[in-house]
Structure 1
Amino acid sequence: MESLTLTTPALLFSAISLIMLAYTNRFLAYAAVIRNLSDKYLEKKEDALIRQINNLKFRLNLTRWMQIFGISSLLLCVLTMFLIYIHQHILAVWIFGIALILLIISLALLIKEIQISAQALKHHLGDIEEYLKK
């Protein structure tokens, strides 16, 4: 078995940083859309707006968990590097394995969130198609 070196967890830094940037952008976009829908709902209380707001709340929550798992993965990568530095290689291997699992969970949540987003957009397209048929 090949030994874990300092560079192995360090390789994930750029990948996790880019993923976190993408997650943050999603989070900010959802926040802006929710504020906009909230204002629209205060003007006219439509059930469709409530459904959209609930969908966005769920997606926002998923994004928050994606961020939590991603940040935890990055934190454990740093801990792995520290453990390698102090020559705790067996513990470092286990911690790095946990970091990878957390990153996998984060990415799996991203897949789920993308599916929900695509389904929501399909509903909007369906509404437009119905309107155009009239």
Structure 2
Amino acid sequence: MELQLSTPALLFSAITLLMLAFTNRFLAIATLIRSLHKNYLKEPDSELIVEQIQNLRSRLTLIKNMQLFGVFSFLLCIICMYLLFQGYTQAANWVFVASMLSLLISLAISLIEIQISTKALNLELSDMEEIFENRKGSLDIFFKKDPENENE
């Protein structure tokens, strides 16, 4: 199969959308870190805040690497298109494969980051689970009528 100029060009939109998603993740984590930092200054002994900060630090590293491999994939697509334009099809094929591998690595790191973010959400839920356990784990407490307001 011969690689055409339009093939690596098709990846431009996909890579751009991925980079936008990765940037949004980064911005969300930056906001969380700033919020946690304020909470940590108020309550430095909180185990939950310390665990969340450690979790966010590892997620930041992963997002940085996701973006790095995404940009690398984008650059390799551009190089591939240039090589195709110049008629170096064999070199363009190898550069395109490298671009695809870079994109694959970026997506794999994204999957790992999603797993870690799920762990972070579970940390948040752990606080609420303690409250529910103390109230027999029932959500009925939120839906019961307040006896004082029952006459209204």
Report the TM-score, using the length of structure 1 for normalisation. Answer: 0.96
Q: Cα deviation per residue 1:81-129 (whole Å; 9 max; x = unaligned)?
A: 0000111111100010000000000000011011111122123223211
CA shift, 1:51, in A, is: 1.1
Query: Between Structure 1 and Structure 2, which shows a larger proportion of helix residues?
Result: 1
CA shift, 1:39, in A, is: 1.0
- Measured in 2, the distance between the counterparts of 1:119 and 1:44 equals 22
What is the match of residue 140 of structure 2? none
Q: Percent identity?
A: 47
Q: How many residue pairs are counted as aligned between the two chains? A: 133
- Measured in 2, the distance between the counterparts of 1:35 and 1:119 equals 19
- Measured in 2, the distance between the counterparts of 1:121 and 1:43 equals 21
Q: Larger Cα Rg: Structure 1 or Structure 2?
A: 2
Q: Which runs of 4+ in 1 moved over 2 A?
A: none
What is the match of residue 137 of structure 2? none
> Residue type matched to 1:98 in 2?
A
Q: Which runs of 5+ in 1 are unaligned?
A: none
What is the match of residue 97 of structure 1? 97
- Measured in 2, the distance between the counterparts of 1:126 and 1:47 equals 12
Q: Which runs of 5+ in 2 are unaligned?
A: 135-152
CA shift, 1:42, in A, is: 0.9
Q: Cα deviation per residue 1:17-63 (whole Å; 9 max; x = unaligned)?
A: 00000000000000010011011111110232111111001001101
> Residue type matched to 2:34 in 1?
R
